[in-house]
């Protein structure tokens, strides 16, 4: 594990302007480390405290100080990502994802209605054959049941991503709808990322490199679950996208398009944004352009804020490593073992 001084000697803090508001922001700040094995990214969202943000620092260290795992594939199918924009703006957003055959559509945005969601999803469905939606835990079980019916009235959905906030709610919803349920926050923000699988609360696991502590930690978690996975971005810069692609490339099985095409959401990035070709992104290392690092450098007060954040997170890294070692080898019940078979009315397996 690198010392704090070594990390701070290697840090670059940048501010990336965005094309549209996403997660309530129009500028994405991240800290990048130029390490001996490559570049790592530390970009926990601003509201995250040190215990949660420390996993993102572990991920940055994993990328900057350790070699990536051997790839099993050289390109990754990606989904288009559609923020909670008006339906009329959908074609403009989708134009940034040439060749994508799958789209993830944000729904349940505060201040918007289910009718807004339906209009947005149908606008996407008119242009992209496979549609999934992401509610970020914004619905109750009853609201999710109603939304699932409304959003599938004009066509199918691949899955509902994190429709409800808690694992018990996801499990209850899965027994009441025919649309597959995917878990995101219930994995990446949970003290026990495997609970959602043990409780049979999801059909698909959405996994993100940074919140789970890095590529190697992600692969360890995926190796202990028995449902399909989707590797997704945490609104990463080109450096973080490279780590996500490395993780997706190393998976033994990858049956779904991944949410790693979010580079198009930025007006400027630290490296050329990878452009999908026939809906795929190539796998390979990413190094920032020095001129862009300089041009996108965050103001001094923001750099100081991020350095203070790194200082707060660094002492927690040993605890994260110890916890990961303790969990190693702890599996989850296979279907029919311990947790019981899915009951009648469960969502279909995918």
Binding residues for Mg(2+) are: 134, 161, 184
Q: How many CA atoms lie within 13 A of 31 on its CB side?
A: 29
Taking CA atoms, 58 is separated from 63, 85, 219, 238, 302, in Å, by 9, 33, 14, 18, 21
Tell me if 260 sits within 8 A of 244, measured CB to CB.
yes
Binding residues: 134, 161, 184
Active site amino acids: 106, 208
Taking CA atoms, 168 is separated from 137, 198, 205, 315, 339, in Å, by 12, 11, 16, 33, 14
Tell me if 219 sits within 8 A of 39, measured CB to CB.
no
φ/ψ of residue 238, rounded to 5: -60, -30
Tell me if 130 sits within 8 A of 142, measured CB to CB.
no
Strand order in the sheet with 80-82: 80-82, 102-106, 130-134, 160-161, 181-183, 204-208, 229-232
Q: How far apart are CA 37 and CA 55, in angstroms?
A: 19
Q: How far apart are CA 98 and CA 96, in angstroms?
A: 6
**Residues 6 or more apart in contact with residue 327 via CB below 8 angstroms:** none
Q: How far apart are CA 274 and CA 278, in angstroms?
A: 12
**Residues 6 or more apart in contact with residue 73 via CB below 8 angstroms:** 248, 249, 254, 283
The continuous run of DSSP H or E covering 76 comes out as: strand 75-77
* Helix segments in the chain, DSSP class H: 4-9, 50-65, 90-94, 114-125, 141-151, 167-174, 185-188, 195-198, 215-222, 238-250, 290-295, 300-313, 317-327
Task: Tell me which residue of 18, 49, 62, 12 sits closest to 216, measured CA to CA.
Answer: 62
């Amino acid at each position: 594990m690198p010392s704090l001084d070594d990390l701070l000697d290697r840090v670059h803090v940048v501010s990336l302007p965005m094309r549209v508001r996403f997660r309530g922001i129009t500028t994405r700040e991240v800290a990048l480390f130029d390490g001996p094995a490559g570049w790592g990214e530390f970009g926990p969202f601003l509201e995250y405290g040190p215990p949660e943000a420390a996993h993102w620092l572990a991920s940055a260290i994993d990328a900057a100080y350790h070699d990536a795992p051997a790839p099993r594939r050289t390109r990754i199918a990606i989904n288009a990502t559609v923020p909670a924009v008006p339906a009329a703006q959908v074609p403009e957003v989708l134009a940034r994802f040439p060749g994508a055959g799958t789209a993830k559509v944000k729904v349940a945005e505060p201040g918007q209605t289910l009718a807004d969601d339906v209009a947005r999803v149908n606008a996407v469905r008119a242009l992209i054959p496979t549609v999934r939606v992401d509610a970020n835990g914004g619905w109750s079980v009853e609201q999710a049941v109603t939304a699932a019916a409304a959003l599938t009235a004009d066509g199918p959905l691949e899955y509902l991503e994190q429709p409800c906030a808690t694992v018990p709610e996801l499990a209850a919803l899965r027994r009441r709808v025919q649309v597959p349920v995917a878990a995101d926050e219930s994995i990446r923000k949970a003290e026990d990322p495997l609970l959602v699988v043990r409780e049979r609360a999801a059909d698909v696991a959405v996994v993100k490199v940074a919140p789970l502590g890095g590529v190697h930690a992600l692969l360890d978690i995926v190796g202990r679950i028995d449902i399909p996975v989707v590797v997704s971005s945490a609104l990463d810069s080109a450096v973080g996208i490279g780590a996500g692609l490395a993780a997706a490339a190393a998976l033994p099985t990858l049956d779904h398009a991944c949410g790693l095409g979010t580079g198009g959401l930025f007006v400027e990035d630290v490296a050329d944004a990878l452009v999908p070709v026939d809906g795929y992104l190539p796998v390979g290392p990413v190094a920032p352009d020095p001129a862009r690092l300089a041009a996108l450098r965050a103001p001094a007060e923001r750099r100081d804020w991020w350095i203070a954040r790194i200082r707060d997170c660094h002492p927690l890294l040993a605890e994260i490593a110890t916890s990961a070692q303790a969990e190693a080898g702890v599996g989850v019940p296979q279907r029919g073992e311990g947790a019981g078979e899915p009951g009648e009315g469960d969502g279909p397996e995918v």
